[in-house]
Chains A and B, each alone.
Chain A
Amino acid sequence: DAKTTQPPSMDCAEGRAANLPCNHSTISGNEYVYWYRQIHSQGPQYIIHGLKNNETNEMASLIITEDRKSSTLILPHATLRDTAVYYCIVRGLYNFNKFYFGSGTKLNVKP
């Protein structure tokens, strides 16, 4: 599976949009981009995933660049409860049984 690179930490003001970047320059055509988050030591929580097109659900939006080498997770109105570690994961067709969790981005939402 393609490797991902994320900044180790980011700050965001409460009520503002949080934009979390992820670089996956070696992604191949059949690999999906997934985002999960982990609040404290809770189980990873699924947020969103996509292949090529931008995606939106009730939690977040996922913007994938046209060349698919990077993506951005957008939390439109961050709250204090969104403070968590956010993981960007690229998942391949032939290795889909597992997720590889890197170090992620620690998002700190501040009042």
Chain B
Amino acid sequence: EPEVTQTPSHQVTQMGQEVILRCVPISNHLYFYWYRQILGQKVEFLVSFYNNEISEKSEIFDDQFSVERPDGSNFTLKIRSTKLEDSAMYFCASSAGLAGGSQETQYFGPGTRLLVL
């Protein structure tokens, strides 16, 4: 069964450093998403991406964050200058973009655990 994959599974970085989290969405999916979950808290939406541009972003997704689809298979989240509060699990998701609207089921990857020291 096709699945979303994410690398690395764990990332430790120093405050102020840049990190890039990578995702390979399900092949032929057209919509891509990033969510995050701070330890013990809810899963929060960060950004959605379609047709090579951001379609929606939350207030969390500030200028420190960027997303990119550098090639036909990868979808990346970059944090330019990490802060302690960026420590969280980051989940990538994708959806097919066929059913449209509220029927779009999102499939999530296993996550990257980011720890900022």
A97–B102 CB distance below 8 A: no
B110 near A46: Cβ-Cβ < 8 Å: no
Q: Which of B37, B89, B107 contacts A46 (CB 8 A)?
A: B107
Residues of A within 8 A of B37 (CB): 41
What residues of A have a CB within 8 angstroms of the CB of B43 in the complex?
38, 44, 87, 99, 101
Count residues on chain B whose CB falls below 8 Å from chain A CBs: 29
Given contacts A41-B37, A101-B44, contact A93 B102 (CB under 8 A): yes
Cβ-defined partner of A92 (8 Å) among B42, B102, B109, B111: B102
Shortest CB-to-CB span from A36 to chain B, Å, is 8
- Judge if B101 is at the interface, Cβ distance under 8 Å: yes
Q: Is the interface of A mostly helix, strand, loop or mixed?
A: loop
CB distance from A14 to the nearest CB of B (A): 26
Most buried by A among B44, B103, B113: B103
Residues of A with C-beta under 8 A to B108? 43-46
- Chain B residues in 8 Å Cβ range of A91: 102
Are B91 and A103 in contact, CB atoms less than 8 angstroms apart? no
The answer to whether B89 touches A96 (Cβ under 8 A) is no
Whether the pair A96, B45 counts as a contact (CB closer than 8 A) is: no
Cβ contacts under 8 Å, B106 to chain A: 46, 99
Is A8 an interface residue, CB under 8 A from the partner?
A: no
A42–B103 CB distance below 8 A: no
Which residues of A are found within 8 Å of B109, using beta-carbon distances? 43
Which of B31, B102, B111 is within 8 Å of A31, CB to CB? B102
Q: What are the residues of chain A within 8 A of B91 when measuring CB–CB?
A: 43-44
Task: Known A-B contacts: A41-B111, A97-B33, A99-B106. Give 12 more (CB < 8 A).
Answer: A32-B103, A42-B110, A42-B111, A43-B108, A43-B110, A45-B108, A96-B104, A97-B55, A97-B56, A98-B33, A98-B45, A99-B45
Residues of A within 8 A of B (CB): 30-32, 34, 38, 41-46, 49, 87, 91-93, 96-103
Cβ-closest 7 pairs across A and B: A43-B108, A98-B45, A101-B43, A97-B48, A97-B56, A96-B102, A91-B102
